[in-house]
Chains A and B, each alone.
Chain A
Amino acid sequence: MKLNLALAQIATKLGDVESNLEKHLNYIKQAKDQKADLVVFPELSLTGYVLQDLVASVAHQPTEDDPVFKHLLEASHDLDLVVGFVDEDDRHRFFIASAYLSGGRALHVHHKVYLPTYGLFDEGRFFAWGDKIRSFETRFGRVGLLICEDFWHASPPYLLWLDGADIMLFSSASPGRGLTDKEKLESARWVERVSKAYASMFTSFVVHCNRVGYEDGLLFWGGATVNDPNGELLAQGPYFEEALTVVELDLNQLRRTRARLPLLRDERTALVQKELDRILTRGRSNH
């Protein structure tokens, strides 16, 4: 099976959901014109990233009666979508969220489980922590969503893998930092390295869509990537510029790679569970 995937690395207007929605619909149209089956947008693509006190005023829910999501759900009849937004639950907790929309429905909503609150990041101050890591069925097989800091930790991709995800869709709003004499920023090199490593170790497709544009002095570096189950880079978007990168994934590659390299078959989950249980319940670590 083939999956024609589009990565929409867009710039957003900070706190202007209406204008960001318009841009989403434009990119969805372009992706549709290029026969894409699925288009992935970056983290907080409907709102912008450094929201601070804007959080409550830009929150939405991925339902048909929501003024923003009704347009996106309608568009999802033509092709599947992953969009980034601020989700507000019934008890008014606000989450950094990604929704997978397909056939007019939200198949899955992921709440970011790791909120970086150090260095230039302050997410834990403004958002609630997600508490689930789940893969889910799509028409292309099982998929998992993670958001930025989620995949700086090894456990969320690992859990998605064990939960059946063969396609991992990562989205980010990653500020560029660490300029040295090298051609790539340190932050870009780090994310590219781990994306490739996850694809290799989990023999899965690992897709990463990062936004572009500036917010005050922060520049989000873009450079969307797709790595195949061999850990080979299939496509990469440009740095620093808006782009729609379209690439065809041959999903049969999963079978060919895993026939050669049965890492999933051999993964000793019971051993992991036993040792984790020992480490967490009987001490021995710093946690």
Chain B
Amino acid sequence: MVDLTINTDVARQILTGFIRSEVTRVGYSRAVVGLSGGIDSALSCVLAVEALGAENVLAVMMPYKTSNRDSLEHAGLLIEQLQLPNKTIEITAMVDPLFDLDPEISKLRKGNIMARERMIVLYDQSEVFKGLVIGTSNKTEILLGYSTQFGDAASAMNPLGDLYKTQLRQLSRAMNIPAPIMDKPPSADLWQGQTDEGELGFTYEQVDQLLYLMVDHRYSPQECVEAGFDEKFVDLVLKRIRRHQFKRMQPPIAKISNRTVGYDFLYLRDWGT
């Protein structure tokens, strides 16, 4: 059994410090989080509140007409617990006209459109509230590419991106995320009955253990098999990681000049701050 346990006190300190630092060093004091009712955005929200104070964190809920009712209700639990400023902006009227243009539109396309519409709303609220958008993508989904590019993957900073789902659950427990949010099966809620684990074909617990060996401990695929993982599973996960590298990168720029952004024009984002 691979042990992914983290010291949640240290994680909490590092991640809240990160949010505070990245928000305040560019002259801001506030943040915006899209609250879905799931565990990831709940944790981002709690961390942002601890970093900046509840009055400085705007929770935005963006349901679609078919969204699970529980989602809104669970987001409400957290808002109540933290006494958060919040807004509900339904995206149905924004995305339905686009869906209607093509009767053949697939579930996947609809899901991507909804994720990107939520990004638009969130960045617009970022301007209204004068707060930076806090990301909610975890390490498991970043590695597996289980996200919509320029949709839920978009943010100004991401405190969760180096935490596997399993670790994120551990930290959420330590930070008193309401039980109904903790206990329900993870879902992007883009269509009815969708669950992450159903769609991926394996559980987070299984894949996190494998990813932890492969990525964090640099196990070769063969060593993962020797450690007890099914060869097909190892192969599937490895292919998924490779196939989704594009989602983890800025689009490549074709080099023509002597100095090109991304290749030899190199500065951190925190340049000068």
Contact = CB atoms under 8 A, between A and B. Distances in A.
Interface in A234-264: 240
What secondary structure prevails in chain B residues at the interface with A? loop
Contact of B7 (A15, A53, A179, A217): A179
B14 A240 contact: yes
B6 A216 contact: no
Interface in B190-221: none
A215 B268 contact: yes
A54 B7 contact: no
A14 B272 contact: yes
The range of chain A's interface size is: 20 to 34
A185 interface: yes
A214 B22 contact: yes
A152 B162 CA distance: 26
A180 B3 CA distance: 9
B104 interface: no
Interface in A190-244: 213-217, 219, 240
Given A219-B14, A219-B17, A15 B272 contact: yes
Nearest to A185: B10
Given A14-B271, A52-B266, A176-B14, A182 B7 contact: yes
A16 interface: yes
B13 interface: yes
Contacts of A50: 268
Nearest to A125: B266
Contact of B271 (A15, A183, A185, A214): A15
Given A176-B14, A219-B14, A181 B5 contact: yes
A214 B7 contact: no
B100 interface: no
Contacts of B18: 214, 217, 219
Nearest to A52: B266
A142 interface: no
Q: A interface, by DSSP: helix, strand, loop or mixed?
A: loop
A213 B14 CA distance: 10
B267 A52 contact: yes
A118 to B, nearest CB: 12
A114 B270 CA distance: 26
B267 A13 contact: no
A183 B5 CA distance: 12
A179 B21 contact: no
- Which of B3, B21, B268 has its CB near the most chain A CB atoms (within 10 A)? B268
A14 B268 contact: yes
Nearest to B3: A181
Given A176-B14, A180-B6, A240-B14, A14 B266 contact: no
A141 B268 CA distance: 40
A143 B268 CA distance: 35
Contacts of B264: 53
Contacts of A213: 21
Contacts of B271: 14-15, 54
Contact of A240 (B3, B13, B162): B13
A16 B273 CA distance: 7
Interface of B: 3, 5-7, 9-11, 13-14, 17-18, 21-22, 162, 264-273
Given A50-B268, A179-B10, 18 more contacts: A14-B270, A14-B273, A53-B265, A176-B14, A179-B6, A179-B7, A179-B14, A180-B5, A181-B7, A182-B7, A183-B7, A183-B9, A214-B22, A214-B270, A215-B270, A217-B162, A240-B14, A240-B17
Interface of A: 13-16, 50, 52-54, 176, 179-185, 213-217, 219, 240
